[in-house]
Amino acid sequence: MKLKNIIIGITDCSKYSHYKNWMQNEPGVEIIKLSYHDKNLNDIQKCNGIIFSGGHDVHPRLYNKPEYLEFCDTKNIDEKRDEFEWRVLEHTQQNQMPVLGICRGLQFTNIFFGGSLIPDNISFGQPNHSKIEEVSDRYHDVKVKAGTILKKIVGDETGEINSAHHQSADNIGNGLAINATSSDGIIEGLEWELHEQKPFLLLVQWHPERMSNQKSIFSKNIKHGFLNAVRNGIQ
């Protein structure tokens, strides 16, 4: 059966090429980079689904904790990106578009729905989930909750994922629910609590687009689960 052609918007970041490469070889998939640098917010009208990529720390004023700024990487904050992606996310919700959020994408979406972040895991007594010596991703176990969309997609309740973040979700946004945690208690995934009544929304703290094993259920299945949801949403 011929697959439906779809257009996926991916928000811009310094490692945008990883996300593009992860998606562009899939049959029937066209990619649009969404970036305030290109002033192309209107291109979201062409998209069937959106990926919110990783990268910059989100400015803590967006979750009403401006005093957390000292714990952020201030050289790695881009308020223009925050503003642009806020508008992209507003559009996805107004138009019931499928969304996949990765790393910062999870954090940003959680904030959008009223949640908050741990601004720096180590400073707040949380486990270190950042890169190893800023060179390579960490790898650790993940536990997936039964009855979630994530469990349906990956088909297992345990596995190994990569990790490269110094911030984590703290308070969970309105309507969201945890679907995965690390063995040391960090939130690794979010989705709609009432996912059967909502458009597709999957947020993961790891980086499926650059896992060393691209055949892993935590990479391949995430990608195909998202693309299937996008295709199923086309009338």
Q: What angle do CA 54, 77, 121 make, to 5 degrees?
A: 70
| Amino acid at the residue 130 | S
Which residues, 6 or more positions from 209, have their beta carbon under 8 angstroms from its beta carbon?
Answer: 18, 19, 21, 22, 102, 219, 223
| Amino acid at the residue 143 | K
How many Å apart are CA 101 and CA 221, to the nearest integer?
15
Of 228, 232, 154, 233, nearest to 189 by C-alpha is 154
Catalytic annotation, residues: 103, 207, 209
Of 103, 100, 108, 5, nearest to 50 by C-alpha is 100
- Report helix, strand and coil shares of the chain as percent, to nearest 5: 35, 25, 40
Of 74, 136, 108, nearest to 205 by C-alpha is 108
